[in-house]
Amino acid sequence: MKITEFVKKELSGWKKYETISVAAVLTFIIINALILKDSLTAVCSAICGILYTVIAGKGKISCYFFGLLGSVCYIKLSYLNALWGNMLLYLCYYIPMQITGIFKWKNHLREDSGEIVKIRLSNKERIILILTAIPCCIITILILGHFNDKSPIADGITTFLSILGMYLTVRRAIEQWTVWIIVNALSLIMWINLITQGTKAYSTVIMWAVYLILAIYFYKDWDNQILRR
């Protein structure tokens, strides 16, 4: 496929209000960062993270470019704020899985739009995931608490559920958005708490708030697409 054809497909399928909303949010993040003198790393992480989430929600493979860049920035943020679970998650899992996602999604693209084909898990698969998630979250919380993580409960739950969410993302399953809703809500609370303790990462708080809204939006969007098939 020619580069121009690839870019054209990646930019197709956007509704006007989606484009305007994304542009408005990114502009707000930049203005907010300038006023509050936010960390450049936090701004870059927020912008790349939001673009990754939106483009992934649109089912476009180019999302992984922004995902990889945003992951590098978030690793640095997590390191500076002693969020060891999030740091190791992005370094050892997110980056390798995003690279894997590029090749997995490439094999399931629709010819006409360049979007991935979305799927829904079976009831048996959902039960297995739930029964696996509960004990794994508890174990992760205990491990992070042992290493003096600043937010062991929120960091522990978001760490393991993010592993699960990324796995479901690569599988193209709608259930990923349910997981991301939980992860994004807890991460938002965690970073707000860090802000109250003096951490300068306002863009990160905005990023998680936008993630939460996007997860709800794309769950409904994917659900409608799957029902129409």
- 218/198 Cα distance (integer angstroms): 33
**pLDDT at residue 229, rounded to an integer:** 62
**pLDDT at residue 100, rounded to an integer:** 94
At 57, the amino acid letter reads G
**pLDDT at residue 89, rounded to an integer:** 82
Q: pTM, whole model, 2 decimals?
A: 0.83
Task: Give the pLDDT confidence of 132-157 residue by residue, as tens digits.
Answer: 999 999 999 999 888 888 788 988 89
Helices (H), 58-174: 63-80, 84-89, 95-106, 123-146, 152-171
Residues lower than pLDDT 50 in the chain: none
**In the numeric block, which tokens belong to residue 80?**
């500076």
∠ CA(136), CA(211), CA(10), 5° rounding?
110
Closest CA to 210 of 69, 50, 56, 90: 50
**pLDDT at residue 182, rounded to an integer:** 95
Task: Give me the residue spans of the domains in the chain.
Answer: 3-228
**pLDDT at residue 1, rounded to an integer:** 54
